[in-house]
């Protein structure tokens, strides 16, 4: 069994590679070449959640499970808000191939998925990015989206702008990008071309009045049906895309609430992002469209990335090999 820690994984993946791997995963999802039981979570008494995501992909054939602890209260501490491990198995004999740092894989593949969706759905001339949230995913998203658009300005919404200096200093983005800190989400969205919501808020942080023609949004932070980052009233204004129909209808809070309230119908989502990649569903049709990518994360993303890391580690003799 090959063991790869977060530092080693980070050194093996650049954004272009990771975005390409996630694109491969999303095609597999939309081609029905995966098995993906719905994510299961155990809420902890003191806050946070233990989440488990098993899955299988047909190309390259493998299966595995990710066990990740989601601890929003860790923001601002030395501890990651997402930590855990991923196990990768070979599909023929079920042998354990690798154990990998799940926190780093989650951060990189989630931001890469948003970057992929942004590349497919945002206007070509998008240059102002607003990130709502200031944790690990906020930093990863700011960096990843620089790989798909020539950004002029990155705005980040903080609960406490006193953290902005340290946050911006740590970002690895082109020197030409201006960076601005906000506390007011509405002000941060005014004039933004792309918005990434990566919060742990239980209630919407974006409402219908904040949207503008031509905007693209990646909704990432709310991963259970009792949470939503956008109001249901905003949904009819948008062309809304999913990573997976099955997980979205079970776990996307605004989608479930919108259907229950009669704001939308079950035909509301335009399709999966993999279908946009495959050309079976159209993405942005005109400059004025408001597009949304609803990211819940799917096991196929983790598996494609993990298999790549395992093969690369074996080829280049990276990580630690443990008899198992």
Question: Model pTM?
Answer: 0.95
2-106+299-321 maps to which CATH number?
3.30.1780.10
CA separation for the pair 182, 180 (Å, rounded): 7
Given a cut of 90, is residue 101 above it in pLDDT? Answer: yes
Q: Lowest mean pLDDT: which of 24-28, 39-43, 91-95, 217-221?
A: 39-43
In this chain, the answer to whether the domains covering 2-106+299-321 and 114-294 adopt an identical fold is no
pLDDT per residue over 123-180, tens digit each? 999 999 999 999 999 999 999 999 999 999 999 999 999 999 999 999 999 999 999 9
Given a cut of 80, is residue 234 above it in pLDDT? Answer: yes
What pLDDT was estimated at residue 324?
81
Residue 125: CB partners within 8 Å, gap ≥ 6? 193
Given a cut of 90, is residue 110 above it in pLDDT? Answer: yes
Given a cut of 80, is residue 120 above it in pLDDT? Answer: yes
Rounded average pLDDT over 2-21 = 98
Rounded average pLDDT over 233-237 = 98
Domain ranges of the chain: 2-106+299-321, 114-294
Note whether 134 and 116 are within 8 A (CB). Answer: no
Given a cut of 80, is residue 75 above it in pLDDT? Answer: no
What pLDDT was estimated at residue 145?
98
Given a cut of 80, is residue 38 above it in pLDDT? Answer: yes
Rounded average pLDDT over 276-297 = 98
Note whether 9 and 105 are within 8 A (CB). Answer: yes
Domain 114-294 has CATH 3.40.50.720: yes
Residue 49: which H helix or E strand, with range? strand 49-58
CA separation for the pair 200, 297 (Å, rounded): 15
Given a cut of 90, is residue 79 above it in pLDDT? Answer: no
Angstrom CA distances, 109 to 45, 46, 282, 297, stand at 29, 28, 24, 9
Given a cut of 80, is residue 306 above it in pLDDT? Answer: yes
What pLDDT was estimated at residue 76?
74
Given a cut of 90, is residue 272 above it in pLDDT? Answer: yes
Other beta carbons within 10 angstroms of residue 310's beta carbon come to 24
Residue 70: which H helix or E strand, with range? strand 61-70
Looking at the chain, the whole-number percentage of residues with pLDDT higher than 70 is 100
pLDDT band at 77 (very low <50, low <70, confident <90, very high): confident
Q: 64 - beta bridge partners?
A: 55, 88
CA separation for the pair 251, 246 (Å, rounded): 9
pLDDT per residue over 191-222, tens digit each? 999 999 999 888 999 999 999 999 999 999 98
Q: 58 - beta bridge partners?
A: 61
Instruction: Give phi and psi for 92, each to the nearest 5.
Output: -80, -45
Note whether 33 and 24 are within 8 A (CB). Answer: no
């Amino acid at each position: 069994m090959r063991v790869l820690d977060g530092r080693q994984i980070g050194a093996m993946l650049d954004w272009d590679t990771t975005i390409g791997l996630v694109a491969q995963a999303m095609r597999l999802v939309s081609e029905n070449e995966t098995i993906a039981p719905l994510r299961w979570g155990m809420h902890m008494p003191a806050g946070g959640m233990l989440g488990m995501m098993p899955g299988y992909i047909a190309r390259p054939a493998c299966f595995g499970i990710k066990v990740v602890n989601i601890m929003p209260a860790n923001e601002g501490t030395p501890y990651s808000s997402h930590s855990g491990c991923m196990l990768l198995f070979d599909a023929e004999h079920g042998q354990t191939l690798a154990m990998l740092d799940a926190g780093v894989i989650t951060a990189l593949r989630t931001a890469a998925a948003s970057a992929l969706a942004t590349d497919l759905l945002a206007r070509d001339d998008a240059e102002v990015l607003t990130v709502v949230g200031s944790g690990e995913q906020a930093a990863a998203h700011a960096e990843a989206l620089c790989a798909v658009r020539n950004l002029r300005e990155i705005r980040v919404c903080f609960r406490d702008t006193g953290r902005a200096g340290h946050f911006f200093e740590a970002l690895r983005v082109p020197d030409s990008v201006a960076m601005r800190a906000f506390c007011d989400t509405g002000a941060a969205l005014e004039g933004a071309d792309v918005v990434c919501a990566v919060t742990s808020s239980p209630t919407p942080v974006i409402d219908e009045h904040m949207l503008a023609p031509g905007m693209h949004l990646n909704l990432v932070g709310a991963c259970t049906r009792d949470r939503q980052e956008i109001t249901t009233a905003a949904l009819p204004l948008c062309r809304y895309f999913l990573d997976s129909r099955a997980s979205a209808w079970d776990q996307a809070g605004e989608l479930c609430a919108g259907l229950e309230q009669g704001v939308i119908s079950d035909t509301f989502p335009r399709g999966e992002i993999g279908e946009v990649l495959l050309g079976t569903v159209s993405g942005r049709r005109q400059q004025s469209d408001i597009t949304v990518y609803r990211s819940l994360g799917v096991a196929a993303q983790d598996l494609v990335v993990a298999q790549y890391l395992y093969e690369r580690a074996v080829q280049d003799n990276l990580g630690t090999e443990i008899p198992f």
